[in-house]
Amino acid sequence: MTQKIILLFTLFLLIFTTSRTECIGFDFTSFNIRNLTLLGDSHLRDGVIGLTKELGVPSSSAGTVIYNKPIGFYDADANFTASFSTRFSFSITNINPTSSGDGLSFFLSPDNQTLGSPGGYLGLVNSSQLTKNKFLAVEFDTRLDSVFKDPNAHHVGFDIESLISIKTANPASEGINLKSGKSITAWIEYKNEECRLRVFLSNSSSKPSKALLDVGVDLSSYLKEAMFVGFSGSTEGSTELHLIENWSFNTSGFVPARPRFNPHNVSDSSVIVSPNISLSDSGNGRHSRLGLGLGIAGPAFFCAVIAVFGFFSLRKWRRIRTQKSIKAELLTGPREFSYKELKTATKGFHSSRIIGNGAFGTVYKAFCISSGNISAVKRSKHSHEGKTEFLAELSIIARLRHKNLVQLQGWCVEKGELLLVYDFMPNGSLDKLLYQESSEASLLNWSHRYNIAVGLASVLTYLHQECEQQVIHRDIKTGNVLLDGNFNARLGDFGLAKLMDHDKSPVSTLTAGTMGYLAPEYLQYGKATEKTDVFSYGVVILEVACGRRPIEREPGTQKMVNLVDWVWGLHSQGKIIEAADNRLNGEFKEEEMKKLLLVGLSCANPDSSTRPSMRKVLQILNNEAEPALVPKMKPSLTFSCGFSLTVDDIIIEEEGGGEWETSRPTIVQID
């Protein structure tokens, strides 16, 4: 009996513990940010992926989009490599037909951070490290580049860890023009058993019977146990735009796992000998029948117990798997850290490791001994009840990818705490560097300052217009602009950020943010919009140009001087250039300084309807659009309730700021 139970239990364990690499598939008829990682200039709009900048003037650009979850292509236990197939529709548009290049690619890579250089590098390869990125790619090239031995300016090629294709084909032979701007559907199939990759291309949704590109190649040594799939694209001095409209992907060939159990492969000691039953004796017969009943009922009972045990175990297993799936969906991409790991990296959250304090919590410098990486760890002050809502919002923000964002590395939810791990910014916050002692002020020269203004405009354009859901930051200030090792701006602290669907009216809330950067209409009505972020941006770049805080006490008096009013006063006198930071000692380009000051005033205009969009600001700073006209006299602001406010009436002084430091948000409710 015991042996039977052991046998059944062993079978049960084998059934539920055997695992192998499984086939995977997904189908996106349209895209959303939850499933994808966007790198570089790639963006998402109306369910369509754009790989390069969408500008009306020529630009150089590179972008990548990657499916978040790694895909298994090799089963080590079975020593088997999967086949795969993918289907996607794309278009390559160009408002200037004479402006060509460079194209896009579908790729597989062991790295989920694959992003190369603009130009002929297709966003796949770094121009200074041509062999760094490992990949398999099918390129749809629209520019002749002799460096990579392109046959012409219109071809499809298959690449293995190099942009020199091992084989190419001209889609024009099938009547297909990659540059037509029309939707083109591609099918890419690799069959492991045939060691053959085929690419089909069509102007319609019907798959052709003949492959455009047919390559005999064994990819088993390149397809790893875990790889990432995605698209990349690039331009160089071109208005070409690369769009991915839909995408499906499947692996095949893996055999479903089966229990490795042979019922005949048992030891002698497990053989059960049935006793001989004598029918000649009635007493013995009754005992025999009783024994027979027990012999049948006993195993049946234990089988029922095992079945119930298996049922509840399976249900628990499914629940755990669901929880893990939800957890993975919560923050796909950034890794989950253990509390112990972060505690060790911060020396037990020691006070000597504190690099900032704010409304969100305390920020610590963390050093991971095993990897040698330095990170910034935010330790939340949020209540347990508030964490659910915060994490729900963070689950989307964590997927944002832009070169001017402080990137979230990972997270930890343990010991009743929420810990967030970010890239460490060695040059601290902008306000810390901007307002340091004059002996060190030369560190932040004019080139750095102008680049900071451009970088901040770029990331706000991304948040406002290029994400699936619009992100309103609500706390743009110099203390939340971090500087990396090259003094590039990185926007951080999304503790007050709000997500909105595009073209939806904002909802009135309690006003939250830092006084000195809040738009007048936000204080009055409590409605945060992209224009309230634009106002805060205007104040920040005036700080960058002038080296003055939003509100400063006039030397020798108790009078408070408002930066926006002060610069506008100089503008009205035709002397706006005098607003430039004296510590620069005149070492700046006067045209750029004037442009930055005028953009700052146009963004900080009390009338929100006249403020430019962040896209317009970015175009102005990049010399791609004419500067906005700024009236000589600062417009007055009148609310519908019948009283007039000036910026002096609504901005008060707030001390503080520093590296990784966020001032406690001022919460105001105006009746």
Q: Are residues 413 and 446 in the same domain?
A: no
Residue 507 pLDDT grade (very low, low, confident, very high; cuts 50, 70, 90): very low
Q: Which domain holds residue 558?
A: 430-650
Candidates 98, 93, 153, 162; CA nearest to 130 is: 162
Q: Are residues 78 and 225 in the same domain?
A: yes
Query: Which range, of 254-268, 277-291, 326-340, averages the lowest pLDDT?
Result: 254-268
Q: Are residues 445 and 412 in the same domain?
A: no
Question: How many of the other CB atoms lie within 10 Å of CB of 47?
Answer: 13
Write the single-letter amino acid at 140: F
Residue 500 backbone class (left: φ over 0; alpha: ψ -120 to 50; beta: rest): beta
Mean pLDDT value across residues 370-382: 77
CATH classification of the domain holding 418: 3.30.200.20
User: Would residue 307 count as lying in a domain?
Assistant: no
3-state secondary structure of 452: helix
Q: Are residues 418 and 443 in the same domain?
A: no
pLDDT at position 394 over 80: no
pLDDT at residue 472, rounded to an integer: 84
| Dihedral of the alpha carbons of 569, 572, 573, 578, in degrees to the nearest 10 | 60
How do residues 121-144 score in pLDDT, each as one tens digit?
888 887 767 677 789 999 999 988
Q: Are residues 476 and 382 in the same domain?
A: no
Helix H or strand E segment including 191: strand 184-191
**Six-digit token string for 393:** 């919002």
pLDDT at residue 518, rounded to an integer: 83
Q: 519 near 650, Cβ under 8 Å?
A: no
pLDDT at residue 641, rounded to an integer: 43
User: Would residue 330 count as lying in a domain?
Assistant: no
**Six-digit token string for 545:** 């140009």
pLDDT: is 146 or 327 the higher one?
146
Query: Which range, of 86-100, 538-552, 571-585, averages the lowest pLDDT?
Result: 86-100
Candidates 423, 77, 21, 48; CA nearest to 227 is: 21
pLDDT at residue 265, rounded to an integer: 37
Helix H or strand E segment including 524: helix 520-525
Q: Are residues 577 and 514 in the same domain?
A: yes
Helix H or strand E segment including 90: strand 83-94
User: Would residue 302 count as lying in a domain?
Assistant: no
Please give the Cα distance from 579 to 514 (Å, whole number). Answer: 24
Q: Choose one of 423, 447, 473: the last residue of a domain.
A: 423
Q: Are residues 613 and 533 in the same domain?
A: yes
Q: Are residues 355 and 208 in the same domain?
A: no
Single pTM value for the model? 0.50
Mean pLDDT value across residues 366-389: 70
Please give the Cα distance from 155 to 75 (Å, whole number). Answer: 34
User: Would residue 215 count as lying in a domain?
Assistant: yes
Helix H or strand E segment including 395: helix 384-397
Query: Which range, of 38-47, 187-196, 453-462, averages the lowest pLDDT?
Result: 38-47
pLDDT at residue 454, rounded to an integer: 95
User: In whole angstroms, how far apart are CA 174 and each of 105, 158, 159, 200, 484?
Assistant: 19, 18, 21, 10, 49
Q: Are residues 216 and 363 in the same domain?
A: no
Q: Are residues 66 and 202 in the same domain?
A: yes
Residue 401 pLDDT grade (very low, low, confident, very high; cuts 50, 70, 90): confident
CATH classification of the domain holding 83: 2.60.120.200
Question: How many of the other CB atoms lie within 10 Å of CB of 385?
Answer: 7
Annotated catalytic, 475?
A: yes
Write the single-letter amino acid at 71: I
Please give the Cα distance from 89 to 43 (Å, whole number). Answer: 17
Mean pLDDT value across residues 425-439: 79
User: Would residue 175 count as lying in a domain?
Assistant: yes
pLDDT at residue 515, rounded to an integer: 66
Please give the Cα distance from 11 to 176 (Å, whole number). Answer: 57
What proportion of the chain, given as a percentage, has pLDDT over 70? 72
Q: What is the mean pLDDT of the chain?
A: 77
Q: Choose one of 423, 447, 470: the last residue of a domain.
A: 423
Please give the Cα distance from 472 to 500 (Å, whole number). Answer: 8
Report CA torsion sign: 395, 399, 405, 410: positive
User: Would residue 31 count as lying in a domain?
Assistant: yes
User: Would residue 388 count as lying in a domain?
Assistant: yes
Please give the Cα distance from 191 to 112 (Å, whole number). Answer: 24
pLDDT at position 594 over 90: yes
3-state secondary structure of 315: helix
Please give the Cα distance from 237 to 280 (Å, whole number). Answer: 104
How do residues 457-475 score in pLDDT, each as one tens digit?
999 999 888 877 788 888 8
Q: Choose one of 252, 279, 314: the last residue of a domain.
A: 252
Domain count along the chain: 3
User: In whole angstroms, how far apart are CA 451 and each of 197, 544, 592?
Assistant: 45, 11, 11
pLDDT at position 32 over 60: yes
Residue 378, marked binder? yes
pLDDT at residue 574, rounded to an integer: 93
User: Would residue 263 count as lying in a domain?
Assistant: no
pLDDT at position 52 over 50: yes
How do residues 479-489 score in pLDDT, each as one tens digit?
889 998 889 99
pLDDT at residue 329, rounded to an integer: 47
Q: Are residues 419 and 434 in the same domain?
A: no
pLDDT at position 409 over 80: yes
With residues binned 3-state (H G I as helix, E B as strand, rest as coil), the percentages for the chain, rounded to 5, are: 30, 25, 45
Placement of tokens 């297709």 in the chain: 122
| Strands in 454-513 per DSSP E | 470-472, 481-483, 489-491, 498-500
Please give the Cα distance from 162 to 240 (Å, whole number). Answer: 23
Mean pLDDT value across residues 1-21: 46
pLDDT: is 216 or 268 the higher one?
216
Which of 159, 475, 533, 581 is the catalytic position? 475
Q: Are residues 587 and 613 in the same domain?
A: yes
pLDDT: is 628 or 543 the higher one?
543
How do residues 250-277 score in pLDDT, each as one tens digit?
998 765 544 433 433 333 333 333 334 3
Placement of tokens 């951080």 in the chain: 492
Mean pLDDT value across residues 531-544: 95
What proportion of the chain, given as a percentage, has pLDDT over 90? 32
